[in-house]
Amino acid sequence: MKGIGFCPGSDSDKSAGVSSREPGLTPHQIKLDNMQWTKLQQYDKFVYSRIPHFSKLAANENQSLMEAAKLSNFSQLEWSCANPKEEFKSFANVIVTQDAFFNKPHQDFNDLNAWTYGIFSFVSKRDFHPLATVFTPWGHGLHFLELKMEIDFSKKPGIMEILWKTSTIVHHTLKPPQEIINDDEITHFGCYFQINHKLFNVGDKFLKRTPTKVNFKVNGYFERNIQDQKRTKNVKCK
């Protein structure tokens, strides 16, 4: 499980920051990651447009929450005060899962939004393109305990969209069969779009500060890049 976007600050003297990268990346890997970040901004409009298909109420609620605390959208490079004209606002952060991820039953109490939007698909490990057809055993999917409902990923090949109440409904991802875990050609990929409650509280406090002071308390994407370059300056590209 990895995070994309902004999160409560974990750096010294910072209240918020871009989700950190894996330590020890080579300069070449960082360059590739930067290229992927630029592509993220192309997805804002797509994700923003999908939520009303499920619930206009959920879409309006998320946008209102984002605007109330002036939160940055998941793909933005810097905090909102540096980009006040952002057009699409729906989710502040994204959780990405792959490699046969599973977890225990839980409620996401740190999610402020009533609804979480998820995109799921089996993908090729070679090019990470979604697979229209898969031949995998049943058993890997989302389980909603109170509803006594299970959505099995293997029964729904292609790209699957799910909107559910992560903060109020007990749910978890079921452990996949060993055949999927050991598969060298495919893996299951998931993206969970959310608004984190702790991050919203940070944004709410920032409303009382000047843009200059806010920027000082935020570790943005460009500042993160500088730190990465310092850490990897003696690492050779592979």
User: Residues 36-48: pLDDT tens digits?
Assistant: 888 887 777 788 8
Question: What is the pLDDT, as a whole number, of residue 83?
Answer: 55
Condensed to tens digits (0 to 9), the pLDDT of residues 130-186 reads: 887 777 777 788 888 888 888 888 777 688 898 887 777 888 888 888 887 778 888
Share of the chain above pLDDT 90, in %: 6
> Model confidence at 213, in pLDDT bands (50, 70, 90)?
very high
pLDDT at 235: 46
Residue 218's pLDDT band, with cuts at 50, 70 and 90, is very high
What is the CA 48 to chain-centroid distance, rounded?
14
Is pLDDT larger for residue 54 or for residue 229? 54
What is the pLDDT confidence band of residue 236, given thresholds at 50, 70 and 90? very low
Give tens-digit pLDDT for 109-123.
Answer: 777 766 788 998 888
- So what's the pLDDT on residue 14? 92
Q: Which fold has domain 93-194?
A: Jelly Rolls (2.60.120)
Inform me whether the pLDDT recorded for 217 exceeds 90.
yes
pLDDT confidence of residue 237: 38
Whether the pLDDT of residue 211 is over 90: the answer is: no
Using pLDDT thresholds of 50, 70 and 90, give the confidence band for residue 232.
low
> Virtual CA dihedral for 80, 83, 85, 91, nearest 10 degrees?
-40
pLDDT value for 178 = 83
114 burial class (0-12, 13-18, 19+ CB within 10 angstroms)? middle
Query: Predicted confidence band at 81 (pLDDT cuts at 50, 70, 90)?
Result: low
State residue 16's pLDDT score. 92
Q: Domain residue spans in the chain?
A: 1-91+219-238, 93-194
Q: Is the pLDDT of residue 222 over 90?
A: no
